[in-house]
Amino acid sequence: VHEPSSHGFSTPITSLSVDADTLVKQIEELSTFSDSPAPSVTRILYTEKDVLARRFVKSLMGLSGLSVREDAVGNIFGRWDGSEPDLPAVATGSHADAIPFSGKYDGVVGVLGALEAINVLKRSGFKPKRSLEIIFFTSEEPTRFGISCLGSRLLAGSDALAKALETTVDGQNISFISAASSAGYLTDPAQISTVFLKKGSYSAFLELHIEQGPILEEEGISIGVVTAIAAPASLKVEFEGTGGHAGAVLMPYRNDAGLAAAELALAVEKHVLDSGSIDTVGTVGILELHPGAINSIPSKSHLEIDTRDIDEERRNIVLKKIHESANEIAKRRRVKLSEFKIINQDPPAHSDKSIIEAMVSAAKDLNLTHKLMISRAYHDSLFMARVSPMGMIFIPCYKGYSHKPEEFASLKDMSNGVKVLALTLAKLSLQ
């Protein structure tokens, strides 16, 4: 079957051959750069393992003949020049950082899969018109500095973030600036805003990612075409009480910051369920007590709360109710609500219509089943959508698992995703 008209190059679509064995080997190798034992993966921004992962990806970019550059915070770009290199390029990419004790595929499939998509196109004899670019984003996960999609938020031109990063520190009080410079970036803090992309740098941005939900697997569908990304928000909350000795302070004299935190965690669940929509989610992933001794009444507690919805207004109502509960609990338990900070409160993003069409048509060309769907997880695409038309390709993953060692995508599903990505990149490159 030759279809030169639909995708603009003269190779049969059936010959788009993915080297899935190599892709799987690369995923395995990347997973060894980890600070927790296999099969779990822990790869935190600017640690030694993160730096090693970056070196690995840059060397693969070089092997694929891409020209590699890095920006001041370590977003990595691998470029294949098109025949009209001055046109806005078509970009694709994802992240390779991994939260503690997570898996091998989140983000990684969109980085190493993008490299394989480029290899597929090169092997097929395709010649891009617009340049194709792979982006490896710095710190999609908020693990170290509490900021999700750090690299893509900066690429999208967040002045507020550039400013905040000048004074941001991690849990060990290491500044963002010194962490970045220890990894070889940001030798001058004034460089942060050099990361901002010029508007119009890209005509399209695409991200290949595991679904992180069970739908595609359950319905036996190969490709998810993402039409929108849910609106995420996150909060930091701290309570302070008097603390004291667990034996000596009688119950009526206590103001236990830990019990205030426990109540707030349950209130988050309640407000989320009260939204009445299956699409509202909320999670207390971090709950820490100070001083953290069995015989000491907690004098401080610290919670980090994540809530999301495809409906921004409904999510904002949940945020408001969480705030009301925090105040009410503090008052009733005579603890101080010493912090209630909205870390981020992002609107949802919508995929570009013509990119959706390109993805759908690529899936059809390849005889792969597809489904239009929502991304409930956020991605760097959420922020790339602010500076470029955006689209995302999902592939099934085992039981929808993500952020844990059991996370898995099959060789077949990854190959399908890479093919759809390659063909969509080709189509968009010629537009």
* Site for a copy of itself contains 297 (CB under 8 A): yes
Q: Which amino acid is at 86?
A: D
Site for Mn ion in 92-131 (CB under 5 A): 106-107
Of the candidate spans 61-69, 156-164, 193-201, 285-293, the one that interacts with a copy of itself by CB under 8 A turns out to be 285-293
CB of 139 to a copy of itself, least distance (A): 12
Structure tokens at 158: 């967040």
Structure tokens at 154: 């900066």
Which of residues 198 and 245 has its CB atom nearest to a copy of itself in the complex?
245
CB of 116 to a copy of itself, least distance (A): 24
With CB cut-offs between 5 and 8 Å by kind, which of Mn ion, a copy of itself, none does residue 107 bind? Mn ion
User: CA torsion 202→137→168→190, rounded to 10°?
Assistant: -50
* C-beta of residue 195 within 8 angstroms of C-beta of residue 156: no
* Site for a copy of itself contains 272 (CB under 8 A): yes
Which of residues 102, 131, 203, 381 is near a copy of itself by CB under 8 A? 102
Which of residues 382 and 390 has its CB atom nearest to a copy of itself in the complex?
382
* Site for a copy of itself contains 100 (CB under 8 A): yes
With CB cut-offs between 5 and 8 Å by kind, which of a copy of itself, Mn ion, none does residue 1 bind? none
Please name every residue paired with 281 in a beta bridge, in sequence order, or none if there are none. Answer: 308
**For residues 36 and 38, what is the distance between their CA atoms, to the nearest angstrom?**
7
Which of residues 85 and 291 has its CB atom nearest to a copy of itself in the complex?
291
Site for a copy of itself in 130-169 (CB under 8 A): 141-143, 146, 148
- The neighbour count for residue 414, using CB atoms within 10 Å, is 25
* Site for a copy of itself contains 290 (CB under 8 A): yes
| Contacts of residue 213, Cβ cutoff 8 Å, sequence gap at least 6 | 376, 377, 400
Which 8-state DSSP code applies to residue 189? G
* Site for a copy of itself contains 190 (CB under 8 A): no
Which of residues 128 and 151 has its CB atom nearest to a copy of itself in the complex?
151
Tell me the C-alpha to C-alpha distance, in Å, between residue 281 and each of 233, 270, 321.
11, 11, 14
Burial class, 367, CB count within 10 angstroms (exposed 0-12 / middle 13-18 / buried 19+): exposed
Tell me the C-alpha to C-alpha distance, in Å, between residue 107 and each of 97, 148, 407.
8, 13, 12
CB of 97 to a copy of itself, least distance (A): 11
Of the candidate spans 45-53, 85-93, 101-109, 311-319, the one that interacts with a copy of itself by CB under 8 A turns out to be 101-109
* Site for a copy of itself contains 372 (CB under 8 A): no
**For residues 309 and 282, what is the distance between their CA atoms, to the nearest angstrom?**
9
Which of residues 321, 336, 364, 404 is near a copy of itself by CB under 8 A? 404
Which of residues 20, 164, 281, 360 is near a copy of itself by CB under 8 A? 281
Binding footprint of Mn ion, residue count (CB under 5 A):
2
Q: Tokens 């020209």 appear where?
A: 67
With CB cut-offs between 5 and 8 Å by kind, which of a copy of itself, Mn ion, none does residue 278 bind? a copy of itself
Of the candidate spans 4-12, 17-25, 72-80, 237-245, the one that interacts with a copy of itself by CB under 8 A turns out to be 237-245
* Site for a copy of itself contains 214 (CB under 8 A): yes
Structure tokens at 263: 């109540």
The sign of the dihedral angle between the CA atoms of 211, 387, 313, 267 is: positive
Structure tokens at 388: 């470029």
For Cα atoms 82, 86, 91, give the angle at the middle one, nearest 5 degrees: 60
Binding mask 47-86 toward Mn ion (x if CB under 5 A, else -) reads ----------------------------------------
Which of residues 212 and 222 has its CB atom nearest to a copy of itself in the complex?
212
**For residues 107 and 85, what is the distance between their CA atoms, to the nearest angstrom?**
28
**For residues 162 and 226, what is the distance between their CA atoms, to the nearest angstrom?**
29
* C-beta of residue 382 within 8 angstroms of C-beta of residue 151: no
Site for a copy of itself in 305-324 (CB under 8 A): 305-306, 308
Which of residues 53, 60, 132, 377 is near a copy of itself by CB under 8 A? 377
* C-beta of residue 397 within 8 angstroms of C-beta of residue 211: yes
Site for a copy of itself in 12-51 (CB under 8 A): none
Of the candidate spans 6-14, 156-164, 226-234, 418-426, the one that interacts with a copy of itself by CB under 8 A turns out to be 226-234
**For residues 232 and 221, what is the distance between their CA atoms, to the nearest angstrom?**
26
* Site for a copy of itself contains 401 (CB under 8 A): yes
Residues at the contact surface with Mn ion, assessed by CB under 5 A: 106-107
